[in-house]
């Protein structure tokens, strides 16, 4: 199902409520990023989703983003070799900026809402599903008819990037890849490699704009984000408060009370807890096959003090109001 036109869109946050997030604003989050805070249950159903980007005025939003937000200049962050973009964001060395107007994203959000299997409730269920539970005898038996599984909070980032899998400080294991209908690009499925963590993420490219990567996180990391890379680099881990639940209430409080879609323009609204820190850490995980620039960039974005430099004064002002 997804968001139908005419369906309520409670929040298209363009500066409001930002103070809520100001203290947790991930300094490394791409300025030109769009965050799709996906409803827990958008209704499921039809795969043909409406263009909710359009619905939300994202098109205009993204345009204004690119037009009004000057490229963030960060002395530390050299443009990654992989990126041909000149507008780079320090926190995402392999991603340059963000925003999109693609219906692909809409589809994604829509699909996300309907996609996940209904058995697992919370981390436990999801993790069980990792094994045989889903296929096992109890998965069906435990599910009550007509009762859908509660989903993990999901959060979609649309990032303009040349690489599909954006480093976010966590270690992920790819467990699947599927061709997506109406899209020439496959969707990749990743799971956090931590045994105690069941966070998943999906990565796919927008069919409308192949330079845009839609990353959808599901679940909540139950461990510190900085999985120390096996490589040479490590970034400064976020404070414990950043990777445990404290931010969750904030996140939760922002979830629409009704089944609505919420689009957050991160400039004024932060991604929730570890999604933010996760991304903040992203560049840090330069692990293999990532350019050294990532490491440099990682160091560049740790300091919240840079926030002022990263966010246009205008935005900051808005943020404080």
Partner DNA sequence: CGCCTTTGACCGGCGC
Partner DNA sequence: GCGCCGGTCAAAGGCG
The H or E element spanning position 130 is helix 122-130
- Report d(CA 240, CA 309) in Å as an integer: 25
Residues that bind DNA (CB under 7 A): 1, 44-47, 111-112, 114-119, 126, 129-132, 134-135, 139-140, 143, 148, 165, 171-182, 187-191, 193, 200, 202, 288-289
Q: How far is CA 94 from CA 114, 149, 212, in A?
A: 29, 35, 12
If the CB atoms of residues 47 and 260 are measured against DNA, the closer one turns out to be 47
Residues linked to residue 186 through DSSP beta bridges, in sequence order: 179
Q: State the sign of the Cα–Cα–Cα–Cα dihedral 247, 166, 206, 90.
A: positive
Give me the least distance between CB of 154 and DNA, in Å please. Answer: 10
Give me the least distance between CB of 120 and DNA, in Å please. Answer: 8
Residues 5 and 256: beta-carbon distance below 8 Å: no
Give me the least distance between CB of 83 and DNA, in Å please. Answer: 19
The label of the residue with tokens 């935005």 reads 315
If the CB atoms of residues 112 and 267 are measured against DNA, the closer one turns out to be 112
If the CB atoms of residues 208 and 304 are measured against DNA, the closer one turns out to be 208
If the CB atoms of residues 108 and 319 are measured against DNA, the closer one turns out to be 108
- Report d(CA 105, CA 216) in Å as an integer: 10
Give me the least distance between CB of 249 and DNA, in Å please. Answer: 25
Give me the least distance between CB of 128 and DNA, in Å please. Answer: 8
If the CB atoms of residues 89 and 172 are measured against DNA, the closer one turns out to be 172
Q: How far is CA 290 from CA 95, 229, 235, in A?
A: 12, 11, 14
């Amino acid at each position: 199902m997804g968001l139908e036109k005419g369906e309520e869109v409670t929040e298209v946050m363009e500066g409001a409520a930002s103070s809520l997030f100001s203290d947790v604003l991930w300094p490394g989050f791409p300025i030109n990023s769009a965050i799709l805070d996906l409803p827990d249950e958008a209704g499921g159903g039809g795969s043909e989703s409406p263009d909710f980007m359009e619905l939300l005025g994202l098109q205009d939003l993204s345009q204004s983003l690119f037009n009004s937000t000057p490229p963030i200049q960060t002395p530390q962050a050299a443009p990654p070799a992989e990126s041909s973009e000149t507008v780079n964001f320090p926190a995402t060395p392999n991603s340059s900026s963000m925003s999109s107007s693609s219906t692909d994203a809409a589809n994604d959000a829509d699909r996300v809402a309907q996609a996940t299997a209904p058995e697992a409730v919370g981390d436990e269920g999801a993790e069980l599903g990792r094994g045989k539970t889903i296929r096992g005898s109890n998965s069906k038996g435990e599910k009550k008819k007509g009762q859908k599984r509660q989903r993990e909070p999901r959060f979609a980032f649309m990032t303009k990037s040349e690489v599909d899998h954006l480093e976010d400080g966590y270690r992920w294991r790819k467990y699947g890849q599927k061709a997506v209908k109406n899209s020439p690009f496959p969707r990749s499925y990743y799971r956090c490699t931590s045994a105690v963590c069941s966070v998943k993420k999906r990565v796919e490219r927008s069919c409308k704009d192949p330079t845009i990567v839609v990353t959808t996180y599901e679940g909540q990391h139950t461990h510190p984000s900085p999985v120390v890379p096996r490589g040479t680099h490590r970034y400064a881990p976020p404070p414990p408060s950043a990777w445990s639940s404290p931010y969750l209430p904030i996140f939760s409080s922002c979830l629409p009370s009704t089944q609505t879609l919420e689009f957050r323009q991160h400039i004024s609204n932060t991604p929730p807890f570890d999604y933010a820190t996760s991304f903040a850490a992203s560049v840090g995980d330069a692990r293999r096959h990532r350019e050294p620039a990532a490491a440099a960039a990682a160091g560049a974005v740790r300091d919240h003090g840079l926030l002022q430099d990263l966010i246009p004064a205008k935005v900051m002002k808005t943020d404080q109001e």
